[in-house]
Structure 1
Amino acid sequence: MSVLPDPGASRAVLVGTSRFEYLEPLPAVANNLRALADLLCSPLSLQLPARHVTVVEDPAAAHTVVGAVRQAAAEASDTLIVYFAGHGLVDAQDQLVLALPHTEFGRVETGLPYDWVRQVLLLDSRAERHVVILDCCYSGLALGRMSAGTGLADQAAVEGSFLLAAAAETRTALAPVGETYTAFTGALLEALRQGIPGAPALVDLGVLYRHLRLTMEVRGHPVPQARNRNSGAQVALGRNHADLPAAPVAAAAGADAGERPWPDPRAIRTVTGFFTALAQVRVVSGLTHRAVSERSGGRMAAGTVGRLLNRSTLPATWGTTAVYLSACGVPGEQITQWQTAWQQLRAQNLSARTESPEVTDDGVPGKARAWQRSLSALRRRRDH
């Protein structure tokens, strides 16, 4: 079953090299990085907190990239996304090397062997799932031509992951001069922003890969390749925005409500993930804040709906959340699963408070919170 990663327990590292000292520049790569980072943080995709997305642009040395990946691998417990765009090289042992700004022809030691990144994911990662996206080229081709060997996916494979790689045919340019994005990443962004007509409610990597193959083939571009390990194809990168409900859920929960692609509360691991999924419930319902209030029979004002969805700490009681879910049309058995997720998060928070009493619910150390209160009191006295 396809699943959206919990944004609070997931991380992304986006690496791109657009400026080179010895190789042809790829200016579209800089646009790739900015657009993909914005997308991953937006409601169109995973809604990752900005602090969970690390962008490494034009890295000066290999250890800069490896260090960023290692840190993200240590922090992520759900899903880790690693993306690279730029020139790709193949060394004498047919191993993939990612080009850096100072990489030179014939001197692979000036690049970043992909295997170094792969080893970090294999040995140092806490994440259950890995998504690796490679939009890279051979440096020997003319400006704008992206390439990779037929064995790229095999070279770059990571256990427990889904690898999505740009194709390698030299007959077609994948980074045409003047285009905003490289062709492969541009098609990927388009699919996540606009959705895929006729596809399932969640754009998982399997669905995305098949769509990109068809899209790139129709456009006369090299088709991508992929490799799936341990059900990595079921990781979703967002909801299918071409498949969102055209009409609100019926007032009386029935077959329509049960068939809606509601967020799965069993995939929630963090408070951030709880509220992200809670907001998605309203989107799937097709209801406005006011409509949710009306469906609640007066038990929940429209302003209360907004405040609930914009919280950063869990409600101390379950009642308001239950009213919200019911008003949106979520089936009863799923509301029970939501309550279980809420109870588990509450228990985790209480346990964390017991072990670290200096930390408050919002993650601010107790001493810092006390200092903030004291500062506010001094300001009030001064103002009066």
Structure 2
Amino acid sequence: MRALPDPAASRAVLVGVSRYTVLEPLPAVANNLPALARALTGPTSWNLPTGHCTVVAEPDTARDMLDPVRDAAEATSDTLLVYFAGHGLLDGRGELFFGLPRSVQARSYTGVTYQALREIITDCAARRFVVILDCCMSGRALGLMGSEDLLADQAEIDGSYLLAAAPENGRALAPPGETHTAFTGELLDVLQHGIPDGPRELDLNSVYHRLRGELAAKGRPAPQKRDRNTAGRLVLAYNQAYRPASAPARAVSDESAWPNPDDCHTPLAFLEALAETRALTGLTIPALAQRADPPLAPATVTRLLNTTTLPATWKTTSRYLAACGLAPDQIGAWQAAWQRLRTQEQEPARPQPPVPAAMPPPARSWWDRLAGRQDRWPRHRGM
């Protein structure tokens, strides 16, 4: 079920750096911040009180950037959104840090590390977290969310969503002469004008798929995402292009755009993928129910998407997927995933034989860990 944040208990912090002394200036970033603040405080998005959306322009030091994030985190119990636009740089170990006005490439102490930002977020008591990074190398943060480090383990929480403007080794784009950066400009267009033939409410997954499609069509860097559990259903805006109708589903020409049922290892992941499939079509629940053969009751589709357990039978799910526009072989793959998960649910847990106690491996020194990673350090020159 899609969820809309409580404006009274939610906060947003928008950080942007457009003026640099050593690095190339990014004048479009200065335009991103007020436009995004207007969107988030407006009635078509989260309708945040003005005091709940903090704009941090041209922070000179790490504290100038992170103290407002800390203050917002301590005041948030529902949803915290943190946005950064500016230069994304890599340190000598290939890890992401954010460029401040006097930052220098490869010297993380001249900027703000993503680790420092993430420590604040993971210590926050908010129910949900949204991080939007419009900077080069922002995809590096995806790996940090999924790594095996201790801090990454702390980030394995419900409701966290990271949207990155560029792949792990890619550059974000600030086209000369355009008012906004490529990624944020497309995001603002979705917030202000909506998605034609899309649902009434635009959740994060719907927005992500729209951004990815539009930016790819223009030959621009493709955004990336990483989400935990139900975070993708968080509503970001009301769809200004929404028109109730039983219009045909939007064609999805690239089969790789559909969720892959083989990646669903839990019932919840399977149900999330079902909901994402409908989001890709842009159809409302009543319109999709009418497309089924024979038609389904809208309440039946709602129950299918909002349940927390696997469907007991396959027939309704098959009709739902066919109405979304999936081919028979694709539906067959979904059925195989459903059967696999049903079998896992029904298998009794097998007792495991006791494992003899073993001596823990000797702790690796900081230098050993550093030496083991050297060969993997990328050599990049950031913007």
The TM-score, its normalising length taken from structure 1, stands at 0.59
Say whether the 8 Å CA contact 2:135–2:172 is kept in structure 1: no
Q: Which residue identity does 1:116 align to in structure 2?
A: A
Deviation at 1:201, TM superposition (A): 1.4
Say whether the 8 Å CA contact 1:16–1:58 is kept in structure 2: yes
Q: Which residue identity does 2:37 align to in structure 1?
A: A
For 1:206-221, list aligned pairs within 5 A: 206-221=205-220
Deviation at 1:241, TM superposition (A): 1.2
Deviation at 1:107, TM superposition (A): 2.1
Tell me the distance in 2 between the aligned counterparts of 1:70 and 1:22: 28
**Mean CA deviation greater in 96-105 or 156-165:** 156-165
CA 76–13 in structure 1, closer or farther in 2 if over 3 Å, else same: same
**Mean CA deviation greater in 207-216 or 88-97:** 88-97
Tell me the distance in 2 between the aligned counterparts of 1:155 and 1:135: 17
Say whether the 8 Å CA contact 1:204–1:236 is kept in structure 2: yes
Task: Quote the RMSD (CA, aligned, Å).
Answer: 2.4
For 1:6-17, list aligned pairs within 5 A: 6-17=6-17
Tell me the distance in 1 between the aligned counterparts of 2:93 and 2:51: 37
Question: Residue 317 of structure 2 aligns with which residue?
Answer: none
SS of the counterpart of 2:132? strand
Question: Residue 193 of structure 1 aligns with which residue?
Answer: 192
Question: Residue 18 of structure 1 aligns with which residue?
Answer: 18
Question: Residue 182 of structure 1 aligns with which residue?
Answer: 181
CA 171–99 in structure 1, closer or farther in 2 if over 3 Å, else same: closer
SS of the counterpart of 1:47? coil
Deviation at 1:62, TM superposition (A): 0.4
Deviation at 1:173, TM superposition (A): 6.8
For 1:148-163, list aligned pairs within 5 A: 148=137, 151-155=140-144, 158-159=155-156, 160=158, 161-163=160-162
The percent identity for this pair of structures is 49
Tell me the distance in 2 between the aligned counterparts of 1:22 and 1:187: 28
For 1:1-384, list aligned pairs within 5 A: 1-123=1-123, 125-137=124-136, 148=137, 151-155=140-144, 158-159=155-156, 160=158, 161-168=160-167, 174-243=173-242
Q: Deviations over 1:298-349 (max 9, x none)?
A: xxxxxxxxxxxxxxxxxxxxxxxxxxxxxxxxxxxxxxxxxxxxxxxxxxxx
Q: Deviations over 1:138-161 (max 9, x none)?
A: xxxxxxxxxx27544222564441
Tell me the distance in 1 between the aligned counterparts of 2:57 and 2:138: 25
Say whether the 8 Å CA contact 2:15–2:57 is kept in structure 1: yes
Q: Which residue identity does 1:127 align to in structure 2?
A: A
CA 233–67 in structure 1, closer or farther in 2 if over 3 Å, else same: same
Tell me the distance in 2 between the aligned counterparts of 1:229 and 1:163: 9
Question: Residue 265 of structure 2 aligns with which residue?
Answer: none
Say whether the 8 Å CA contact 2:138–2:164 is kept in structure 1: no
Tell me the distance in 2 between the aligned counterparts of 1:237 and 1:96: 26
CA 84–11 in structure 1, closer or farther in 2 if over 3 Å, else same: same
CA 181–169 in structure 1, closer or farther in 2 if over 3 Å, else same: farther
Q: Which residue identity does 1:184 align to in structure 2?
A: F
Say whether the 8 Å CA contact 1:115–1:156 is kept in structure 2: no
Say whether the 8 Å CA contact 1:172–1:220 is kept in structure 2: no
Q: Which residue identity does 1:8 align to in structure 2?
A: A
Deviation at 1:245, TM superposition (A): 5.2
Deviation at 1:235, TM superposition (A): 0.7
Say whether the 8 Å CA contact 1:77–1:127 is kept in structure 2: yes
Tell me the distance in 1 between the aligned counterparts of 2:47 and 2:138: 34
Deviation at 1:172, TM superposition (A): 7.7
The TM-score, its normalising length taken from structure 2, stands at 0.59
Say whether the 8 Å CA contact 2:16–2:29 is kept in structure 1: yes
Say whether the 8 Å CA contact 1:30–1:57 is kept in structure 2: yes
Unaligned segments of structure 2, at least 5 residues: 147-154, 246-285, 288-296, 300-383
Q: Deviations over 1:345-374 (max 9, x none)?
A: xxxxxxxxxxxxxxxxxxxxxxxxxxxxxx
CA 225–82 in structure 1, closer or farther in 2 if over 3 Å, else same: same
CA 115–172 in structure 1, closer or farther in 2 if over 3 Å, else same: closer
**Mean CA deviation greater in 150-159 or 181-190:** 150-159
| Number of matched pairs | 240
Q: Which residue identity does 2:8 align to in structure 1?
A: G
Q: Which residue identity does 1:49 align to in structure 2?
A: P
Say whether the 8 Å CA contact 1:169–1:222 is kept in structure 2: no
Q: Deviations over 1:254-290 (max 9, x none)?
A: x99x989xxxxxxxxxxxxxxxxxxxxxxxxxxxxxx
SS of the counterpart of 1:14? strand
Q: Which residue identity does 1:163 align to in structure 2?
A: L
Deviation at 1:93, TM superposition (A): 2.2
Q: Deviations over 1:170-206 (max 9, x none)?
A: 8987101111000000000001111111222111001
Say whether the 8 Å CA contact 1:114–1:156 is kept in structure 2: no
Deviation at 1:217, TM superposition (A): 0.6
Which of structures 1 and 2 has the bigger CA Rg? 1
Say whether the 8 Å CA contact 2:95–2:140 is kept in structure 1: no
Deviation at 1:168, TM superposition (A): 3.8
Deviation at 1:167, TM superposition (A): 1.5
CA 13–198 in structure 1, closer or farther in 2 if over 3 Å, else same: same
Q: Deviations over 1:27-82 (max 9, x none)?
A: 00010001000111111211100000000000010012111111101111110000
Say whether the 8 Å CA contact 2:138–2:165 is kept in structure 1: no
Tell me the distance in 1 between the aligned counterparts of 2:13 and 2:212: 24
Deviation at 1:25, TM superposition (A): 0.2
Say whether the 8 Å CA contact 1:172–1:221 is kept in structure 2: no
Tell me the distance in 2 between the aligned counterparts of 1:11 and 1:171: 29
